[in-house]
Amino acid sequence: MGKASKDKRDIYYRKAKEEGWRARSAFKLLQIDQEFNIFHGVKRVVDLCAAPGSWSQVLSRNLYVPAKQYPDCKEGDLPLIVAIDLQPMAPIEGVLQVQGDITNARTAEVVIRHFDGCKADLVVCDGAPDVTGLHDMDEFVQSQLILAALTIVTHVLKVGGKFVAKIFRGKDTSLLYCQLKLFFSQVTFAKPKSSRNSSIEAFAVCENYSPPEGFKEKDLYHLLEKVGTPSGADDLDCRSGWLEGPNKVYIPFLACGDLSGYDSDRSYPLPSTEGGSYQSLDPVQPPIAPPYKTALEMKKVASHGIGADISKLSLDS
Ligand code: SAM
């Protein structure tokens, strides 16, 4: 698909370039905020799986930049935004970057160190594995990423804080809902208008972090395993068993964003330009070191027929 054609078919892709966002995902976070007011009163935030950085840009533009413009603002009063990803990303004003794997305990330690004993008001996670197209498998890997994010949440989020995480809708959605509900008094699954209907993604918006009494971070997985199993009912004050029979949970999906706004599943005509043909804009910030870079280089070598033995090229190079 050419760039102009993609601009026509994907209004949010075009708008992202026009408004200076690195990815169309920026609109998802903005639409979640429109519905849930998640940025209200936020001074410290963690952006998990942040590259190429459009959510970090949204956080910077909504939290850091306005605070900096405040006449009496001192350095220590500025919001703290810590962004983590496996991939490096180009700098963003007011965003501290950590390159690391969120499933690794050391990454959580680095994040905690940045907060210097203070807790975060908000943790967001737009993490996604490389999808295989096998829905059960993709949903499983995605849920592992959310649990890694939840581990970090239990270490860095303040009581009363908020957590937003990308989920894949599937057969285990109610299990995930119940697991999150153990830690947050309010959990809503939201589908922003900028997220296509054809996509299985949605977002868990978790409000009012309130871990069970006596909860210890090291017991997280033990606790999660009990959700939905009859044997866990006693320990969990009857919170489990929600998944079966008349207690089965039906999870509402809330559409968010201006419902009369752009529809991500529709094509829109390209804007007319004065006297000339439509010029598609370049992406705002291409990824610095995307995982597909090596594959592209290998393809180039192969198509130029240089005779390189592709099987000997390391994918890690
Ligand atoms: N929110 C980002 C934005 O607005 O630009 C887009 C995030 S992109 C959909 C998903 C990201 O998850 C990728 O950059 C990928 O590197 C990251 N990711 C996947 N697994 C990860 C892991 N285990 N640790 C850290 N980052 C991970």
**307 pLDDT exceeds 70?**
no
Residue nearest to atom 17 of ligand 1 (CA): 49
Task: Kindly report the backbone phi and psi dihedral angles of residue 17, in degrees, each rounded to the nearest multiple of 5, phi listed first.
Answer: -65, -40
User: pLDDT digit string (tens) for 130-159?
Assistant: 878 888 888 888 888 998 999 999 999 999
Q: Give the whole-angstrom CA distance, residue 311 versus residue 317.
A: 13
* 204 contacts 146 by C-beta, under 8 angstroms: yes
| Cβ-defined contacts of 282-289 (< 8 Å, 24+) | 282/17, 283/17, 283/22, 284/16, 284/17, 284/20, 284/21, 284/22, 285/22, 285/52, 285/53, 285/90, 286/52, 287/51, 287/52, 287/87, 287/89, 288/87, 288/88, 288/89, 288/90, 289/87, 289/88
Task: Kindly report the backbone phi and psi dihedral angles of residue 198, in degrees, each rounded to the nearest multiple of 5, phi listed first.
Answer: -70, -15
The pLDDT of 239-258, averaged and rounded, is: 68
* 195 contacts 168 by C-beta, under 8 angstroms: no
55 lines ligand 1 (CB under 6 A): yes
- For residue 139, the model assigns a pLDDT of 81
**301 pLDDT exceeds 80?**
yes
Distance (Å) from CA 101 to ligand 1 centroid: 9
Distance (Å) from CA 104 to ligand 1 centroid: 14
In ligand 1, the atom with minimum distance to the C-alpha of 101 is 24
Q: Give the whole-angstrom CA distance, residue 172 versus residue 192.
A: 21
Helix (H) or strand (E) run with residue 201 in it? strand 201-209
Query: Architecture of domain 6-289 in CATH?
Result: 3-Layer(aba) Sandwich (3.40)
**242 pLDDT exceeds 60?**
no
3-state helix, strand, coil in the chain (%, to 5): 35, 20, 45
- Nearest CA to 77 out of 59, 63, 91, 56 is that of 63
Distance (Å) from CA 168 to ligand 1 centroid: 14
Q: Give the residue extent of every domain in the chain.
A: 6-289
Residue nearest to atom 14 of ligand 1 (CA): 51
Listed in sequence order, the residues at least 6 apart from 23 whose beta carbon sits closer than 8 Å to its beta carbon are 16, 52, 53, 54
pTM above 0.90, yes or no: no
**248 pLDDT exceeds 70?**
no
Mean pLDDT value across the chain: 84
- Tell which wins on pLDDT, 251 or 20: 20
Distance (Å) from CA 280 to ligand 1 centroid: 26
CA distances from 63 to 41, 52, 152, 268 (A): 9, 19, 22, 32
Q: Give the whole-angstrom CA distance, residue 260 versus residue 61.
A: 24
User: pLDDT digit string (tens) for 66-82?
Assistant: 999 988 888 788 999 99
271: region left, alpha or beta (phi > 0 left; psi from -120 to 50 alpha): beta
Residues in the chain: 317
126 lines ligand 1 (CB under 6 A): yes
In ligand 1, the atom with minimum distance to the C-alpha of 22 is 5
**223 pLDDT exceeds 60?**
yes
The pLDDT of 227-244, averaged and rounded, is: 50
Q: Give the whole-angstrom CA distance, residue 168 versus residue 136.
A: 10
101 lines ligand 1 (CB under 6 A): yes
**169 pLDDT exceeds 90?**
no
Distance (Å) from CA 102 to ligand 1 centroid: 10
54 lines ligand 1 (CB under 6 A): yes
107 lines ligand 1 (CB under 6 A): no
Strand 95-99 relative to strand 44-48, pairing: unpaired
Q: Give the whole-angstrom CA distance, residue 38 versus residue 59.
A: 11
Q: Give the whole-angstrom CA distance, residue 18 versus residue 12.
A: 10
Annotated binding residue 72: no
| Residue 191 annotated as catalytic | no
- Nearest CA to 174 out of 248, 256, 253 is that of 248
ipTM for the assembly: 0.99
Lowest-pLDDT range of 194-203, 222-231, 236-245: 236-245
Annotated binding residue 101: yes
* 165 contacts 179 by C-beta, under 8 angstroms: no
103 lines ligand 1 (CB under 6 A): yes
* 209 contacts 153 by C-beta, under 8 angstroms: yes
- Tell which wins on pLDDT, 317 or 218: 218
Annotated binding residue 55: yes
In ligand 1, the atom with minimum distance to the C-alpha of 287 is 14
User: pLDDT digit string (tens) for 99-125?
Assistant: 999 998 888 889 888 988 899 999 999
Distance (Å) from CA 237 to ligand 1 centroid: 35
25 lines ligand 1 (CB under 6 A): yes
* 226 contacts 235 by C-beta, under 8 angstroms: yes
Annotated binding residue 126: yes
Which residue is catalytic, options 8, 162, 166, 193? 166
Annotated binding residue 85: yes
Q: Is 40 helix (H, G, I), strand (E, B) or coil?
A: coil
- Tell which wins on pLDDT, 81 or 7: 81
